[in-house]
Structure 1
Amino acid sequence: MVKAAGTFGRSGSHDYILLRASSVVIFLFTLFMIGFFASTANVTYEIWSGLFSNLWMKVFTLLTLTAVLIHGWIGIWQVLTDYVKATGVRAFIQFLFSVGLIVVWLAGLFVLWGV
């Protein structure tokens, strides 16, 4: 039996809600970026940096990166518990993916806020 320690949420219902909420945030960010590229004829560095100099855009992007972290964490846990039965292999793969997701989140944090 798989323990819930490897998952992001406290229970299956909690994971379900986190997955749905994170997917909505990712979808809204994707729609916004598609709209931005569709409505901006020539994207230059000045326009791009101007967009990301707004506080609301930094917060929206960080929220989206956090949603990607949560979505990926829960998703990889669910897939691995379904298809990888060897505990050690599953833990190693989950560790690699978790480190990768955290690195992406931290890189986004550093790029957005210049920390």
Structure 2
Amino acid sequence: MVTNITNFGRSGLSDWLMQRISAVILLAYTLFMVGFFLLNPNLDYAAWSALFQCTLMRIFSLLALLSLAAHAWIGLWTVSTDYMKATGVRLVFQAVVALGLFAYVVWGVQVLWGA
């Protein structure tokens, strides 16, 4: 029986579902940002800052950031287990990806919710 490390013992269905949900969230965020840029052609710092002062926008951005990290982790884990046959190389790659994603999430939280 094959176990899936990305979800700690659940079936691959939850990975598939998380990929789809995170993709929908990322699509919604992208469409919102594109719409915002199109509706504000003379965007300045004050308007940009006002957008991200809104708590709902910060939550939406955090949700998009977490979705990006989850989507990337599941996708890169799947690709690495499929194409990297050497266990040591695969583990190093997965560790670097996990560390990078963690750093980006922490940095994103600091940017969104920092002073």
TM-score by length of 1: 0.93
Aligned residues: 114
CA contact (8 A) 2:3 2:11 kept: no
CA contact (8 A) 1:58 1:112 kept: yes
- Greater RCO between the two (CA within 8 Å, min separation 6)? 1
Distance 1:101 1:75, change over 3 A: same
1:21 aligned partner = 21
- State the identity %: 45
Deviation per residue, 1:10-47 (Å, 9 max, x gap): 22100000000000000000000000000102111100
1:71 aligned partner = 71
Question: How far apart are the structure 2 equivalents of 1:3 and 1:94?
Answer: 17
Question: How far apart are the structure 2 equivalents of 1:107 and 1:94?
Answer: 20
Question: How far apart are the structure 2 equivalents of 1:15 and 1:22?
Answer: 10
Unaligned 5+ residue runs, structure 2?
none
Deviation per residue, 1:51-105 (Å, 9 max, x gap): 0000000000000000011101100100001100111100100110111111111
In angstroms, what is the RMSD of aligned CA positions? 1.5
